[in-house]
Structure formats: structure tokens, C-alpha cells
Amino acid sequence: MTQNTFIDLRSDTVTLPTEGMRAAMAAAPVGDDQYGEDPSINALQERVADMLGKEAALWLASGTMANQVALRALTHHGDDVIVGDESHAVWHEAGASAANSGVQFTVIGRHGLFTADEFVRALKPRGHMLYPGTSLVQVENTHNRGGGVVFPQADAETICAAARQHNVASFLDGARLWNAAAVTGTPPAALAEPFDLTAVALSKGLGAPAGSLLAGSRALMERCLRFRRMFGGAMRQAGILAAGGLYALEYHLKRLPEDHANAARIAARLAASSAIQLDSSTVQTNIIVFDLADGAPDAAAVVVSAKQAGVLLFPFGVRRLRVVTHLNVTAEQCEAAAETLVSIAERRLP
């Protein structure tokens, strides 16, 4: 295992496979997954379907592909899709939803959260001469750009009930659903229960090198299987990757609270500085999104100075930054990084 000398807080995707994970991958039984013959893929799909309380699950190369296949399976060209503001689908998927599925987004709510009332108000009936009919509502839990916040389950339930009433499908982008489950103590199956279709990632906080899964009814998985092929995402001996995912579920899932504790440590230090504006109530899991106060350097300048001081993080706006904790950073490193960021933010402008 190699680890760079930076304290890398850019994302939980930078995590490296551990020795144990590499050994499991090397030893994985494999076969041709397009023939349904990869035992490791099959085991992972069954395990995740079980954990999410769904009939079946399907392996996909990335979270973006999972989201794109979900969207393609649940909508038609010209449809309207309702999502929370700052959603991954709107910001981080290169416009794929418009390009692949020909849908438009209606963005509602604040900081990634919204209510059933807001959903129903934004809903456009299908069959109307003018309206783009709403066929899908999408929830992100935890919400990345919202600062890793947990989507309130009571809202998820009323939104999905309203969706069913209006014949609208529901999709949960749960790339970090494991974090939501860890912090709330609610099993992933309960969080996924209201939704027709759920995506989860193995390559974020769980630390596997690649892979996401979709889970839902058997009939819906058949549809997703076809679109996965259409999008070029069907693989062959992908069990080598699946074995990394199975290992992560076995050994890394239970350590997510460490990441949450480390994020809380960083947040407490940042919030104490007058150069930083941080709503501590948003720091619920492993992500911290914060703003630089007037008079502090801007986000780009902080990123450059932090890198010189050995800390990596991402700008999320002109004066906004994101920090993410994960299995390759220790509590001590997180405390040191927070000190570094505060001292940079408190430097006066030249």
C-alpha cells in the first residue's frame, strides 16, 4: 500500500485498497459477468440486495453510471425529474441526464433537502398539452454539496408516498447511504424502503477501488441490466473488483463512525475561527462544507496555500470549500489539517 505525504481531504474517493482488500481481490473467484457467471459479482449483488431489502441488485462501474442507468430506466425523453438543489445529478455528472436520457431537472428545496409539499407543488401532470410530465423524483442521502447532511427519513417517506399517488417513480442516490445509516442507526434497508430504486457506492467511504450497485425489484433490475449494456457498462471478470467491495462491507462499514468523529473534530476547530463561516448543524457525517468570511483569502488561494502546507482540499465555490474525512486519515492528521486551514484563513489579504 502506498500513501502520499499529503493529508488528503479532497474526497473519500482517494482511499487506497488495504493489504487485506488486495489479498481478497487477488483470491476472488471470477467468471463472465455478462453471462451471469461471476461468483464474486453474484455474491456482492445478493449481499447488497439483502442489505437494502430489495429483490435484486446490479453491479455498475461507477456511481454516475448507476445514476444514469436509473434515470434511463425510470424516465422517457422529454420528461421532468424533480431533485433537491445542489444535487449530484445536476452538478457532477457532466450533463449526462440531458445527454443520455433527454430529461429536464426541476430543482427544489434548500441545501439538498426538500419536503413532500415542495415536491407536490413542483409536480407537472403527465398528458398535459404543454407541461413536461414529471416521471421521477430523486433524493440524495447523504447530501454531498449540502455538507454530508442526512435526508430526514420522515420526509423521504411522505415524498415517496406522494410520488406513488401521482404515479411518479422514486430514486434514492445513496452513494453515501452507509454514512446516513451509521449516524442515524437506521438500517440501510429501512432508509431504502420507500424508494423504487436505490444506488449505493463502494468506492467512497467504504474504500473499495471501484463499483456502485442499484437495487430494486427483479423486473426493474432486468430493465437496468439492458441499459447498463447500452451505456457500455457491462463487464466480464469484474469479480476482482466485487471482491474489494465485499471486503469493504465486511471490514470497513463498521468504521464509518471514526470518519464522522474526525469530521466533527475538524468542524469544531474551523467553527471557532472568525475567518470561517460554518453551520455546524450540517456536519453530520464525513463532509464539511464551509465558507470563508469577508477579509479572509478566497477559496482558490486557501487551496494553494494548504497544498504548500501539506493539506489537500477542494474549492466548492468562490469562497466555499469542502473537506472530507475517510479511512486514510487519522484523528491526529485531521486535527493538524484543521490547524493549518485556520491559520491560512486567518492570514490577512496582502
Ligand X SMILES: *Cc1c(COP(=O)(O)O)cnc(C)c1O
Note the residues at the interface with ligand X (CB under 6 A): 62-64, 67, 88, 140, 144, 173, 175-176, 201, 203, 212
**Which residues, including other chains, have CB under 8 Å from residue 128's CB and lie 6 or more apart?**
none
Nearer to ligand X, 156 or 345 (CB): 156
Q: How far is the CB of 300 from ligand X (least distance, A)?
A: 22
Nearer to ligand X, 202 or 276 (CB): 202
In the chain, the amino acid numbered 231 is F
* 130: its cell numbers: 404543454
**Which residues, including other chains, have CB under 8 Å from residue 40's CB and lie 6 or more apart?**
28, 29, 30, 238, 239, 240, 242, 243, 246
Question: What are the φ and ψ backbone dihedral angles of 217, each rounded to 5 degrees?
Answer: -70, 160
Cα gap 322→303, rounded to integer Å: 10
Q: How far is the CB of 265 from ligand X (least distance, A)?
A: 22
Residue nearest to ligand X (CB): 63
The CA-atom distances, in angstroms, between 115 and each of 62, 82, 123, 222 are 28, 12, 12, 31
Nearer to ligand X, 54 or 176 (CB): 176
Q: How far is the CB of 66 from ligand X (least distance, A)?
A: 7
Nearer to ligand X, 65 or 240 (CB): 65
Q: How far is the CB of 258 from ligand X (least distance, A)?
A: 19
Q: How far is the CB of 35 from ligand X (least distance, A)?
A: 25
Contact 233, 239 (CB under 8 A): no
| Residues counted in the chain | 350
The answer to whether the bond into 142 is cis (omega within 30° of 0) is yes
Q: How far is the CB of 175 from ligand X (least distance, A)?
A: 3
Nearer to ligand X, 33 or 93 (CB): 93
Nearer to ligand X, 273 or 328 (CB): 328
Contact 277, 290 (CB under 8 A): yes
Nearer to ligand X, 201 or 276 (CB): 201
Nearer to ligand X, 67 or 262 (CB): 67
Beta-carbon neighbour count of residue 141 at 10 Å? 28
Cα gap 244→165, rounded to integer Å: 40
Nearer to ligand X, 212 or 340 (CB): 212
Q: How far is the CB of 142 from ligand X (least distance, A)?
A: 8
Q: How far is the CB of 163 from ligand X (least distance, A)?
A: 19
Task: Give the CA count within 13 Å in the CB-facing half-sphere of 194.
Answer: 26
The CA-atom distances, in angstroms, between 287 and each of 55, 88, 264 are 31, 14, 9
For 249: left if phi > 0, alpha if psi spans -120 to 50, otherwise beta; the answer is alpha
DSSP structure class, residue 102: -
Burial class (CB in 10 A: 0-12, 13-18, 19+), 272: exposed
Q: How far is the CB of 260 from ligand X (least distance, A)?
A: 16
